[in-house]
Structure 1
């Protein structure tokens, strides 16, 4: 899909982080953006900031875990612009750090509801619109945790693996409808976003005590070989969309971790 001025893009989780980076990058290309988020205050601030750059923006509060809320987002998009060309199912949260057997049911329900069903609801609401047009693209945000194991974050990595697999299948299904349709999964490494803070505000994790030492993003970046800005991740995603790639995984070390997983998988299979 070629991204062009005048097109319409919908971005869930658009008030901050990668979602806001996608909105910035798309607006810079002349795309009209519909940003959505569950946080009304953050959404309003993001819309104002984007409009100050000259972007054409519509803001819609939505809860991606609620299918009817996502359907309403699709209806609001059509009411505002009459079409949609790119759908970015980006909303997400993180989970507490604990072994799988210590993760409680509420954590699993939240991760599945937001990260997995959120993508499914987005596809169900918007894919028929793209198919009717005969052209368009869906971008699903996962994580490098969807390409390799991530101990102590099983609800997170499990749902991210699901997003990777369903996007691979979705791309094939869309191309059966039209060669001008497709899907891409975004699996970035370490990104400088407020995801942890937002997750705490939504009750997904418990924030650390105010006086507790916490590793800075720069410290984590040094340990992992670098950190990306949301805009850098967004630009990588849009590049992948334009060349019709199913996977994009920007970030230091991500390809190496994915390669190690694939090598281990193939080694196990070869032993059968």
Structure 2
């Protein structure tokens, strides 16, 4: 997808890959709805490209807030052409037997439920566009296991759990 003239929603835009994606999209001529949980880092991202970027403080695990985001983005930009979901977290570097359920639930809520909520919320708008895109950024940890890290990737019979 050529992004010039398009409206993109980028989650995790307050730092890391999300910030880089949001800023590069603006550099290439897109208008960006930058989404992040952290208002301070989101403001830093927005300061670089405020004319083509709107900042939306949001916790992707809050389904009601995510469901209200499409209206806020379309109120600002008129439409949405693509969603790039970069928001994500990793669990602590610990063996599965040592992880508490709160840590596991938090990772699952951000990485799975947040992605699902965002996709479902924007899908009706994207299906109405002549060209709509959804990009979900994932960790290499899903493909290449790291010792002492629980992973869904295939591994040798000897377990690190």
User: CA separation in 2, counterparts of 1:15 and 1:102?
Assistant: 30
Equivalence for 2:132: 136
1:106-153 CA-partner distances (Å, limit 9, x unpaired)? 011100111111100111101111112242111101111111223323
Equivalence for 1:81: 77
Equivalence for 2:44: 45
| Structure that is richer in helix per residue | 1
Q: Answer with 1 or 2: which has the greater Rg.
A: 1
**How far 1:76 moved relative to its partner?**
0.8
> Tell me, which stretches of 5 or more residues in structure 1 are unaligned?
162-260, 265-272
Q: TM-score, normalized by length of structure 1? A: 0.54
How many residues get paired?
156
1:163-205 CA-partner distances (Å, limit 9, x unpaired)? xxxxxxxxxxxxxxxxxxxxxxxxxxxxxxxxxxxxxxxxxxx
> Tell me, which stretches of 5 or more residues in structure 2 are unaligned?
157-161
Q: Alpha carbon RMSD of aligned pairs, Å? A: 1.8
Equivalence for 1:238: none
Q: Does 1:105 align with 2:105?
A: no
Moved over 4 A (4+): none
**How far 1:5 moved relative to its partner?**
1.8
Match of 1:115 among 111, 120, 131: 111
Equivalence for 2:67: 71
